[in-house]
């Protein structure tokens, strides 16, 4: 007499009973999760993107600025080097900011002087200099898995996410510690909280409006909310992604006076 075949539902139940404990202990590697989220935020090849910053106070727009970012991964270490050209407002047009390694420089063509900057220094509203340069967090931070929880994303939807704690592993990073929530389904970055060395919450960011850009669904908006005043909000919009060569010569301080956008 042949055994009666198991139904699909019963078969799934039997497999779950045997494999459930193994699945429960299959803890994801936090550093790999962070690298996967980085790959969604940033293209792996050299690219340019337009960044529009808009500052709001109590729901009213008070300032705006437009930048063009050119970025490429460095041959050693894989971290990005970034050149930023100020486009608008007109008073800032042509000014440059360069991030290469741990150095961040600002160049003003009117004075022909380059000045060293801190990545923590505010650029506009809640956005600091370090928020607009392209960064792979997995290169600068050690990640720890803090748990798995439901979180509201930037579109106000509930998502199951891994919560990671990030501790600085490199000098001169923008924030000493970060908490970041990564979608458990697709590795998208959903939300991040940025802290001062004292442990004070500086700002909260939501990544949203994911669109197909240069081979992946990437966030095209980041909403940054002040850690003390939730009425102080800065919106970063990313548009006009383009794969393009970024010459090594552009990424050196001495070249800034000669830079001409193509």
The answer to whether the peptide bond before residue 250 is cis (omega within 30 degrees of 0) is no
Phi, psi (deg, nearest 5) at residue 126: -90, 0
The SS3 call for residue 232 is strand
Contact status, residue 205 vs residue 57, Cβ threshold 8 Å: no
Q: Please give the pLDDT value at position 76.
A: 76
How many beta carbons lie within 10 A of that of residue 81, not counting itself?
23
- pTM, two decimals, is 0.87
Distance CA 246, CA 256 (A): 14
pLDDT at 262 over 80: no
Mean pLDDT score across all residues of the chain: 89
pLDDT at 8 over 80: no
Contact status, residue 183 vs residue 175, Cβ threshold 8 Å: no
pLDDT digits (tens, 9 = 90+) for 53-95: 999 999 999 999 999 999 999 877 778 999 999 999 999 999 9
pLDDT at 19 over 70: no
pLDDT digits (tens, 9 = 90+) for 135-167: 999 999 999 999 999 999 999 999 999 999 999
CATH code, 30-258: 2.50.20.10
């Amino acid at each position: 007499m042949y055994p009666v075949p198991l139904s699909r539902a019963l078969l799934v139940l039997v497999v779950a009973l045997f494999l459930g404990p193994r699945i429960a202990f299959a803890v994801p590697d936090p550093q790999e999760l962070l690298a996967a989220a980085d790959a969604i935020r940033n293209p792996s090849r050299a690219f340019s993107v337009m960044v529009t910053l808009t500052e709001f106070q109590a729901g009213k727009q008070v300032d705006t600025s437009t930048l063009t970012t050119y970025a490429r991964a460095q041959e050693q270490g894989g971290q990005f080097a970034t050149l930023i050209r100020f486009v608008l407002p007109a008073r800032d047009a042509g000014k440059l900011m360069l991030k290469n390694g741990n150095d961040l420089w600002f160049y003003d063509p009117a004075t022909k002087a380059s000045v060293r900057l801190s990545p923590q220094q505010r650029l506009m509203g809640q956005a600091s200099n370090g928020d607009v340069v392209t960064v792979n967090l997995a290169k600068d931070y050690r990640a720890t898995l803090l748990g798995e929880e439901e979180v509201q994303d930037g579109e106000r939807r509930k998502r199951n996410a891994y919560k990671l704690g990030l501790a600085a592993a490199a000098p001169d990073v923008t924030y000493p510690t970060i908490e970041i929530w990564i979608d458990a389904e697709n590795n998208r970055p959903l939300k991040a909280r940025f802290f001062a060395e004292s442990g004070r919450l500086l700002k909260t960011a939501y990544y949203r409006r994911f669109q197909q850009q240069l081979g992946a669904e990437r966030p095209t908006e980041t909403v940054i909310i002040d850690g003390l005043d939730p009425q102080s909000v800065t919106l970063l919009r990313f548009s006009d992604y383009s794969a393009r060569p970024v010459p090594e010569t552009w990424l050196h301080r001495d070249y800034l006076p000669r830079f001409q956008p193509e």
